[in-house]
Each structure stands twice: as C-alpha cells, then as structure tokens.
Amino acid sequence: MGDPVVIFVSFLKSLALVPLTLLPIINPLGGAPVFIATAGTNPLVVRKMARRVAINSWYVLVVSMLVGTYVLEVFGISLQIVRLGGGLMLATAGWRLLGSRGGNDVQKAVVDQNTDLSDAEIAKRSFFPITFPLTTGPGAIAASIALGVHLPRTPVLYLAGATIAVVGVAFTAFVVYLCYRNAAKVLSMLGEVGSMVIMRMFAFILLCIGIEIMWAGWAALNHIAS
C-alpha cells in the first residue's frame, strides 16, 4: 500500500491526461458552426443532437482506447495506416464543406429557424458527419488508441486504468455536449455572415488537419520502410 495522497495525485494526473490529450484534437468550439449548420437552430433539436453526439463520441473514444490496439493487430493494420486513411477522410469532409453552396441542405438548416428533425434523422446526422469525422475523427481515434497502448496488462491494474480512462472520456464527452449545446448562442453573436465566415474558415482548417494527419502517417510509413 502506498501513500494515499500520492495515489490520489497520481489518479488525478491520469484522469486529467485523457481530456487534456483529446480536447485540443476534438476542438468542439471549432466544430460548433458545422454542428449548428447540421442541427439547425431549433433548441429542442440542438439539445437532442448535442446529447446524441456526446454519447456517440464517448462510445467511439472508449472503444478505440480499450480495444483499438487489439483490433488493429487482428487485421494487421498499423496506426500509421489509420492516420493516412483517416486523414484522407477528414480532408475530404473539409473539401466538401468548402465547396458547399448556399442552397444545399446544410445552409437551409441554418436559415430555417424552426427546423424540426425526426429522431431518426437526428440519430443519422449526429453520427455522420458530426460525431465522425468532425468530432471524433482520425486524430482523436489515433490519440485514443495511443492512450490505450499505455494501459497496464495485469488484470487489476488494467481494470483501474480502464476505469480512469472511461471517466476521463466521459468528462471529455460532457465538454463536447456543453460546447455544442450552447453553440447557437455563440454564433448568434456573430450573425449570419460571421457564422458563414467561421464555418468556411473551419472547413479550411479541417482540410489542413486532414492533410497534416495524412502527411504524418505517410512520413511514419516511409521512416519504417527505410
């Protein structure tokens, strides 16, 4: 038995490591314009979709963290390939957002203040493209898998580490919920033009992040090959 204070401090550090690693990659504030463009501005729909995205994100991150390494080993897929393929998907999503026009469904959702989506439509939109690849994209999944690699292999320590990881992901998902839930308030201060500019800027950043993730995966593959 160690010092309880030392154990508690170590627990807090391990707990804080998860959101501190994932939240800068997820960047829920940056994704807020795209979230509102997809959910519309109906408060009930926004609340439902924000909750659904948070739950979906929790599942994706926890599964990636706890079993992602084993799944990759079974299929013989390296983390570098995940980065390369995921970065391509993220860059494609950013490119599509940059090329979207004002008459499409996304922009109609922003203009129509009374947009009301069915539960089935909310479930569909909340996963793609909001949960994946916007919120828990390849960068967040790769980071989750990397965190899972460091979990202890002995049963008791693994259970303790997994519990800390699950709680840390829950806190991360809660922050995502708060950011998306209140996204309309932030965007309302920017106005329609400001929101459009922010969305286009984020789309470009999303494209660049995707290319950066692809480049990191490609560089790592070349390093291994050499």
List alpha helices for the chain, DSSP H.
Answer: 4-26, 28-39, 43-75, 79-99, 105-111, 119-125, 138-149, 155-181, 183-225
Mean pLDDT, the chain, whole residue set? 80
For residue 92, count other CB atoms closer than 10 A to its CB: 14
220 against 117, higher pLDDT:
220
C-alpha 108/C-alpha 111 separation (Å) is: 5
What pLDDT, on the 0 to 100 scale, is given for residue 105?
41
Do residues 33 and 180 make contact, with C-beta atoms less than 8 angstroms apart? no
Per-residue pLDDT of 58-116, as tens digits, reads 999 999 999 988 888 888 887 778 778 777 876 777 787 777 654 344 444 444 444 56
Within a domain: 5: no
8 against 177, higher pLDDT:
177
Within a domain: 11: no
Within a domain: 8: no
What pLDDT, on the 0 to 100 scale, is given for residue 136?
92
Long-range contacts of residues 47-52, Cβ cutoff 8 Å, at least 24 apart: 47/181, 48/119, 48/122, 49/117, 49/122, 49/125, 49/126, 49/130, 49/180, 50/176, 50/177, 50/180, 50/181, 50/183, 51/177, 51/181, 52/122, 52/123, 52/126, 52/127
Within a domain: 2: no
Tokens in use for 41?
């501005």
The DSSP output letter for 129 is: I
Per-residue pLDDT of 129-178, as tens digits, reads 899 888 998 778 888 887 887 787 788 888 988 999 999 999 999 999 99
> How many domains does the chain fold into?
1
Within a domain: 12: no
Cis geometry, peptide bond prior to residue 152 (ω within 30 degrees of 0): no
Grouping H, G, I as helix, E, B as strand and the rest as coil, residue 42 is coil
What pLDDT, on the 0 to 100 scale, is given for residue 172?
96
Within a domain: 192: yes
Owning domain of residue 194: 22-225
* Residue 128 scores a pLDDT above 80: yes
C-alpha 16/C-alpha 131 separation (Å) is: 22
Choose from 34-43, 51-60, 143-152 the range with maximum mean pLDDT. Answer: 51-60
Within a domain: 92: yes
What pLDDT, on the 0 to 100 scale, is given for residue 171?
96
Cα 30-144-173 angle, rounded to 5 deg: 50
215 against 92, higher pLDDT:
215
Q: In percent, how much of the chain has pLDDT > 90?
A: 21
Cα–Cα nearest to 137, from 70, 194, 80, 64: 64
Q: In which band, very low, low, confident or very high, does the pLDDT at 2 lie, cut at 50, 70 and 90? A: low
What pLDDT, on the 0 to 100 scale, is given for residue 226?
67
114 alpha carbon, distance to own chain's centre: 27
Within a domain: 199: yes
What pLDDT, on the 0 to 100 scale, is given for residue 214?
83
Q: Is this prediction's pTM over 0.85? A: no
